[in-house]
Structure 1
Amino acid sequence: HAALRAGASGFLLKDARPEELLAGIRAVAVGDAVIAPALTRRLLDEFARYVPAHRADSVEDPGLCSLTEREREILVAVGKGWTNGEIATRFVLSESTVKTHVGRVLTKIGARDRIQAVIFAYDHGLARPSVD
């Protein structure tokens, strides 16, 4: 949790194969985030312990207020962990349009990558962990 807030762009396990490590380095180098699939659920569950159920002041956040309705929908989807392909399918958009929206969202909320956007969405009550 502290590492994500401090700006970590991802987590890989010690037993990651060399090709996974290289793919992770390349992803982070181009601005993406990387989390080992085995850690995703645990990370979200742990993070959820620190997230308030809803923040009343979320409407006053300048980054959040600057989002268009579509950008807010995209932020919610990113907060739910959806991929660009899943967002494109659900909102009937092209993946390149989704990438453009995600880039604008990141800029407006001051996030460096998708992980920070997820934290922002959780902090502002836009996303919660799903119960399986």
Structure 2
Amino acid sequence: MSMRHRLPVPPFTEETARLKVQLAEDAWNSRHPEKVALAYTEDSEWRNRDVFLNGRREIVAFLTEKWRKELGYRLRKELWACQGNRMAVRFEYEYHNAAGQWFRAYGNENWEFDEDGLMRKRYASINDLAIEEGERRISLE
């Protein structure tokens, strides 16, 4: 294992996959783009809705802009399936825009990791639903 490993590493068991998903949830909820980007390979490939990204620099720029617009962001992730170095993850998150409109976003991600436990591919399909503040399910902790 090289010095750049990110535990846990593949092949994943259900237990280590659930841990990896929780670590990802915690990192994204920090809303620190540089911290989040460290979980991805230098040349990581992303599809996020209709946006295609390559590499950590693009990931940091994307997340910086995302969290500038998506205020009060809180995310929950759940392991759907895992095998070897791949995972399918279901998620939902809530946020509001500058005008105060709340949204809940639902989606699925497909993840592929390198041997050191860094994510090299992330493909996300996401749908947003406008909600009232009283309909929120995820607390801002």
TM-score, reference length from structure 1: 0.27
Between Structure 1 and Structure 2, the one with more strand by share is 2
TM-score, reference length from structure 2: 0.26
- Structure scoring higher RCO (CA < 8 A, sep ≥ 6) equals 1
Between Structure 1 and Structure 2, the one with more helix by share is 1
